[in-house]
Structure 1
């Protein structure tokens, strides 16, 4: 659930004496920078700070800043020394316009409004599409669709959703087992979806048992309006991003407002098994400005704005030298250190999983990559 306490990601202003060991300016920073339309606060801070996620604390060290939650195009960030080791925001007449965001909100809107993680039974027991007008095989905008088990009134609007992932926990209490934790399984989009649960893809992660059911991710793929009640009810398909199929579920529209700004910050701790477990719009890997599902949720202390480093697990290779053998690839093995590959910021949490946006990266992010404190 989107937390109402989220504020605008703030600040470029540094007290060097206090934060010399933390939020340092990069060596090539200019004396000033004028905020432009299209900038994002993360982008500005990543350009000039060695640790961009620390700038909320940096604002607090600058009491001369009257409003630490708003920065606009036209504001001048002073990156030179002013009366000693203190940096500040140059006052000037502000041009009309909206405050710049931490990240482009358009890249998250689908995941704020059109993606949900729900209880599996709630998904399986929800009303479902059973047929289409003129015995069509698929539903298209402007056509009637028929829905079973729907309760409501004529004129009521509904979201049509399709399950995309199921999240499962395996040996979560056994910290000694490297196979423990939470995984996200793709749901086969080619099956008819007449019955649930839907076919899960267990490939590539080694989990063939069912595990603990932690929820199902569903994506809103259309909206419809009730024309006539009954069983089945008749609905008019108003819009859709995909063809509607038999078995697609029908749910109330989620019209809860959400905040437009985020306040990136480092988490206090991170669990041993915090991992990237699923992708929103990719099969094998993702990069900056793409969304991933994480194996931490509100029950684990995850909250919007938390920023993590992502590490790729080190490979387990043969140590040909220690094996003292003429035959390569046999004998003793060694695991190489994990490799840093980028940062991810949490922007929506559920009980056991969260959505995060990859903020930057040195190489592609894969499922199973580990989360760590951003140091």
Structure 2
């Protein structure tokens, strides 16, 4: 009796490979059916065709459709100016799923970094999409590992869009504000201080710090739903350098963004903060929900590349690299015909990528927007499962 076995063993010796990609399955299926027709006859071939179509359809939707971009490249050469977000968007429909497809190179010191000149290859292993790198030449460190200059690696997102928010402003709580050192007097009784002006400060506790950020308590972030205090924005006014540690200590302003005056606060800076490396990824908690508080510059015109403050922080397990979907919040309207009130549905309007976290607040950048984003709009994990209406009108 002829044996017909699916998945790895073919019909009468013809193999139906379950690792075929959605792109290559159609051509492979056509060739296989031609052989089956000549060997098995019409009825067996129809059965094989039906089974293969089921297999191919399941494979296409379960493997490629949910994750791969429609026009993903088989091969891509990384160039200067590329970002990890941009590259993951080339290959994936859902960029936050990059960790699922990326195959690091164990022959380099940090296999997660990607450099200009690297060639990225898309392949499929057991039906699973995989992206790997043909790494450019590097300096040998050990027989099993190589060293590379991290500063040359492509960044997660465009540093120019968020550089101003890496060192400042910062978000702090009331207790930290009360403990911060503060300016008591300018030299020659100056009330307004600028670059190269010297001043006295009290409350210095870090006797080793040489560089300081000068800041002023700014907006008080409150949760719009619960009213909870989420922290105070510390507005960056400039930088200062320690001259003499005493009580009061003497410092000089090295950078001035705005006029500085008495009662402004000081925060020690040990190391210049840089853009951390991170993967785009979904939040640890798929049920997490938050809202957009506002933008650091108080703008109400929000779109792609706008920086936003949100009411989710380290307490909610937020991490740099976490991606959130943005939904327009439901609004109450009056029916123009009946006068009755109705509520507009939530609609998907974009994506936001977290790049800096604090205890109860995070900063994120809007990476994609289908229409204007507003303070008060809702944030959810991209893996949130509740069906919602797309801003383009399609039911999700």
Q: Same fold (TM over 0.5)?
A: yes
Structure 1 residues 77 and 65: alpha-carbon distance in aligned structure 2, compared to 1, 3 A threshold = farther
Aligned to 2:181: 127
User: 1:118–1:218: 8 Å Cα contact kept in structure 2?
Assistant: yes
Q: Distance in 2 between matches of 1:157 and 1:76?
A: 41
User: 2:101–2:129: 8 Å Cα contact kept in structure 1?
Assistant: no
Greater share of helix: 2
User: 2:104–2:133: 8 Å Cα contact kept in structure 1?
Assistant: no
Structure 1 residues 230 and 25: alpha-carbon distance in aligned structure 2, compared to 1, 3 A threshold = closer
1:240 and 2:284 are equivalent in the alignment = no
Q: Distance in 1 between matches of 2:209 and 2:357?
A: 32
User: 1:154–1:225: 8 Å Cα contact kept in structure 2?
Assistant: no
Q: SS of the counterpart of 2:155?
A: coil
1:312 and 2:328 are equivalent in the alignment = yes
1:20 and 2:56 are equivalent in the alignment = no
Alignment partner for residue 197 of structure 2, among 135, 138, 143?
A: 143
Instruction: Report 1 or 2 for greater relative contact order, CA contacts < 8 Å, sequence distance ≥ 6.
Output: 1
User: 1:154–1:228: 8 Å Cα contact kept in structure 2?
Assistant: no
Alignment partner for residue 369 of structure 1, among 355, 358, 377?
A: 377
5+ unaligned residues in a row in structure 2: which ranges? 1-19, 23-58, 139-147, 384-396
TM-score by length of 2: 0.68
Q: Distance in 2 between matches of 1:368 and 1:43?
A: 27
Segment of structure 1 superposing worse, 110-119 or 74-83? 74-83
1:33 and 2:87 are equivalent in the alignment = no
TM-score by length of 1: 0.71
1:180 and 2:225 are equivalent in the alignment = yes
Q: SS of the counterpart of 1:38?
A: coil
Aligned residue pair count: 313
Structure 1 residues 110 and 226: alpha-carbon distance in aligned structure 2, compared to 1, 3 A threshold = same
1:49 and 2:92 are equivalent in the alignment = yes
Q: Distance in 2 between matches of 1:63 and 1:282?
A: 40
Post-superposition Cα deviations, 1:99-121, rounded to whole Å, max 9, x if no partner, equal 21221234334333233222213
Post-superposition Cα deviations, 1:264-285, rounded to whole Å, max 9, x if no partner, equal 1112435565011121224213
Structure 1 residues 50 and 155: alpha-carbon distance in aligned structure 2, compared to 1, 3 A threshold = closer
Post-superposition Cα deviations, 1:76-103, rounded to whole Å, max 9, x if no partner, equal 3345889987565473644897221221
User: 1:65–1:89: 8 Å Cα contact kept in structure 2?
Assistant: no
Alignment partner for residue 300 of structure 1, among 316, 326, 345?
A: 316
Q: SS of the counterpart of 2:80?
A: coil
User: 2:73–2:90: 8 Å Cα contact kept in structure 1?
Assistant: no
1:155 is displaced (CA, Å) by 8.6
5+ unaligned residues in a row in structure 1: which ranges? 1-13, 170-178, 182-210, 324-329
Structure 1 residues 128 and 70: alpha-carbon distance in aligned structure 2, compared to 1, 3 A threshold = closer
Aligned to 2:233: 217
1:21 is displaced (CA, Å) by 4.2
Post-superposition Cα deviations, 1:269-313, rounded to whole Å, max 9, x if no partner, equal 355650111212242133222321111112222222211101111
Alignment partner for residue 354 of structure 1, among 323, 344, 362?
A: 362
Matches within 5 A, 1:224-303: 224-228=240-244, 231-255=247-271, 260-269=276-285, 273-303=289-319
User: 1:151–1:229: 8 Å Cα contact kept in structure 2?
Assistant: no
Q: Distance in 2 between matches of 1:158 and 1:301?
A: 29
User: 2:210–2:268: 8 Å Cα contact kept in structure 1?
Assistant: no
Post-superposition Cα deviations, 1:228-282, rounded to whole Å, max 9, x if no partner, equal 4555443221222222122211222253766631111112435565011121224
1:151 is displaced (CA, Å) by 5.1
Matches within 5 A, 1:38-117: 38-59=81-102, 69-79=112-122, 88-89=131-132, 91=134, 93-94=136-137, 98-117=152-171
Q: Distance in 2 between matches of 1:87 and 1:49?
A: 11
